[in-house]
Amino acid sequence: MFFPLGDEPNPRGRAYVNWTLIAANVVIFLLTAAPMMAQAADPADPLFGEYMQFLRRRAPDLAAQALAGQISAYDLFVFHWGYRPGSPSLTTVFTSMFMHGGWAHLFGNMLFLYIFGDNVEHRMGRAGYLVTYLACGAAATFFFALMAGDSQTPLVGASGAISGVLGLYFVWFPRNVVKTVFFFQLVRLPSRLVLGSYLIIDNILPFVTRGAGSGGVAHGAHIGGFIAGFLLAWGLQRAGATSQALERFAPRDPWTRPQQPVFEPVRQARVAANPFQAFRESLALGNWHEVYRAYVAMSPNERDQIDKNEAIRFADWLTDQGDYDVALALLRRFIEVQRDPQWLARAHLRAGLIDLHFKNDSAEASNHFYKVLELGASNDMQQVARNALAQARNTRFDLN
């Protein structure tokens, strides 16, 4: 229904994993499909007999064509390395993700990956993005297999994994816009409208009316991948998983070490005994490094009980110290559990300014600033948000 050409805003820098995945898919296609499609299948190939049995059961007319030499070597290659629900293999779960049925299939998948993958990689990090991409592809394959029964028709293509990327994008970048060709006109549409159309109109409706693999399109895999990505993003967002960054980052400045080591065991014992109380007492005294230690030692439930003003003060101190990842983790967790609109606006504004000025992430920053405007913040905060939005647009480096 929609033909996307790009999205905005985009993060600065290069999405190396996303580009590597695109390159891998293209290279594999050029090395396998391109030459093998023009080559007739060898009847002496042991796989040929098994493939003929499959064709006789599925489509007798195609079996006759195979005997006439109209089946390519790539057909056998796909039959061997594609995922067949009736003959499941863990190897083919992953090999099938890097195979495509033709040039149009490859182009469509890589276009969607190019447009939407860079934002998700920037949000998750390179390693997390790669693992998530493969995991969503596997989830899409298994979802398709549940619907396909004992079918021997091979499933190939990166669209299941890419649909997972779209599900993540749907949750994390709701205010992005997609440059789209619609009825021969270039328009900018909300990302959720485009991705929702992809899910419902292009996949769910055909799936319900015609089946999981109607028209040679694996709608079941697309739906399964999208759901997997959506649930993962939603779960991470609800759980405030990014707040775990606190355990991965230690204060970097040399002066954070205790000046009187003899008292360190006492401090550690006090923090360990009641980190929540130690946090509040240290904050009242302005002992920020003790506040930091206490916060790291607290359970997620205790962190959620911190007074609103105390949480914002702590985030401001972390920002002043240059611990931007930790400050963002705290603010994101605060946003997840807070319900007061004015305090939510304060947290969104601070997170947006950190993303814009220190993380060079204009896409994520814009999402925070739009939220400040939606929450009906004070006039001063709204003005700051508007100015920052203008700056984000002017400094954005659009990869697409």
Tens of pLDDT, residue by residue over 284-325, are: 777 777 788 888 888 888 888 888 888 888 888 888 877 788
pLDDT score recorded for residue 167: 96
Nearest Cα to Cα of residue 70 among 84, 80, 59, 86: 59
Most confident of the following: 13-27, 140-154, 225-239: 13-27
Domains of the chain: 3-37+72-239 (1.20.1540.10), 245-395 (1.25.40.10)
Measured in degrees and rounded to the nearest 5, phi and psi for residue 103 equal: -65, -40
Give me the torsion for CA of 80, 84, 86, 88, rounded to 10°: 90
**Are residues 85 and 150 in contact, defined by beta-carbon separation less than 8 angstroms?**
yes
The pLDDT tens digits of the residues spanning 238-267 come to: 765 443 433 333 333 322 333 333 344 444
**Are residues 156 and 217 in contact, defined by beta-carbon separation less than 8 angstroms?**
no
Q: Are strands 3-8 and 177-182 parallel, antiparallel or unpaired?
A: antiparallel
The pLDDT tens digits of the residues spanning 98-128 come to: 999 899 999 999 999 999 999 899 888 889 9
